[in-house]
Structure 1
Amino acid sequence: MTETYKDWSNKIPYALGAYRTSIRASTGATPYSLVYGMEAVLPVELRIPSLRVMMEADLPESEWARARYQELQMIDKKRLRALYHAQGYQRRIEKAFNKKVKIRDLQKGDLVLKSYRAPVYDPRGKFRPNWSGPYIVDEVLPRKVVRLLDQNGEKLMEPTNHDRPKKYYA
């Protein structure tokens, strides 16, 4: 949409308007409707009146206020429906992720290597190490989390997800 690299800031309101009025896959609703309780009236609908705009234009003020009050009462239902949709979406994402996770039967005292996730830019490029360790499994926590010790017996600061370490056979 931009003509030069300098005029991108002029297009931000259009991009935000499109973002706020498009349906999100995670909630099944638009961010605008979740905040205001009704769908946004697009500028093109004012130029070429839609049925919704024409009906609201013919309503007397008292009727319009009553209809708006009813819409505001229904906003809680819309938000609750969006919450249920988001929870279902999260379950689907979790199920898709868990298909790829390799369950590793780790016990306390096992030697493991932990996958090394380097920063985006690493001067070693493709020659950087993929694994760090070996570490010792200190404890296996619920929800697929393990605590690791280094070779000196010092605990690592944060627990590690169960899919990152793999057994090390020495």
Structure 2
Amino acid sequence: MTRSPSELLLVLWANKTTPKTSTGQTPYSLVYGCEAVIPAEIHVPTTRWSLSTVEENQPLMQDSRTLVEELRDAAKIRIAFYQQTVARSYNKNVNIRVFKKGDLVLRKVFPNTKDKNAGKLAPAWEGHYLSDSIVGQGAYRLQTLDGEMIPGS
């Protein structure tokens, strides 16, 4: 199915004039300080479009330009709240595990340490290792069950 370039412009315009969840505002209003008139309102006049004149619109546009900074600040606050909400919902299923010296652990296999011929059914974890010492928050130095230190752990 082929699409014409004029349809792409309408899609982009719709994206710019749709309020976003994170800010509560349209991208157009955050840039220009006022709401855009969509093409459908021009072809099918609404009360907002038909009752306004150029003379009445100029002072309103000047007011909206002075209030655009407040609109952007409110959007920044809403973005911070939205990010906290998303982080809270993401982190609610996180289980923090702390290992002590001598605990048996498994090590995750990363693409750079994975066997090249293993394929997609390769194990995601390797070892049985002993935690030798705590290096930092959530970082441990590992050794094999034979007592050999694992480099880079």
Which residue does 1:124 correspond to in 2?
A: 119
TM-score of the pair, normalised by structure 1: 0.66
Which residue does 2:87 correspond to in 1?
A: 94
Which residue does 2:26 correspond to in 1?
A: 30
Deviation at residue 117 of structure 1 after TM alignment? 6.2
Deviation at residue 59 of structure 1 after TM alignment? 4.3
Q: Which amino acid aligns with 1:64?
A: N
Q: Which whole-Å deviations, capped at 9, do the CAs of 1:46-100 have from their partners, x for residues lacking one?
A: 11112222233x242xx43221111011111111111111111111111111111
Question: Which structure: larger Rg?
Answer: 2
Q: Which amino acid aligns with 1:51?
A: T
Which residue does 2:114 correspond to in 1?
A: none
Q: Is the 8 A contact 1:109 1:138 kept in 2?
A: no
Look up the SS of the partner of 1:113 in the other structure: strand
1:40 aligns with 2:36: yes
Distance 2:33 2:51 in 1: 18
Q: Which amino acid aligns with 1:31?
A: P
Distance 1:53 1:138 in 2: 66
1:147 aligns with 2:139: yes
Look up the SS of the partner of 1:28 in the other structure: coil
**How many residue pairs end up in the alignment?**
141
- Which of 71, 77, 82 in structure 1 is aligned with 2:75? 82
Q: Is the 8 A contact 1:33 1:40 kept in 2?
A: yes
Distance 1:109 1:14 in 2: 63
Q: Which whole-Å deviations, capped at 9, do the CAs of 1:83-134 have from their partners, x for residues lacking one?
A: 111111111111111111011123577554344466xxx9723x12222465
Look up the SS of the partner of 2:51 in the other structure: helix
Q: Is the 8 A contact 2:102 2:130 kept in 1?
A: no
Unmatched 5+ stretches in structure 1: 141-145, 157-170
Distance 1:114 1:18 in 2: 48
Which residue does 2:146 correspond to in 1?
A: none
TM-score of the pair, normalised by structure 2: 0.72
Larger deviation, residues 7-16 vs 21-30: 7-16
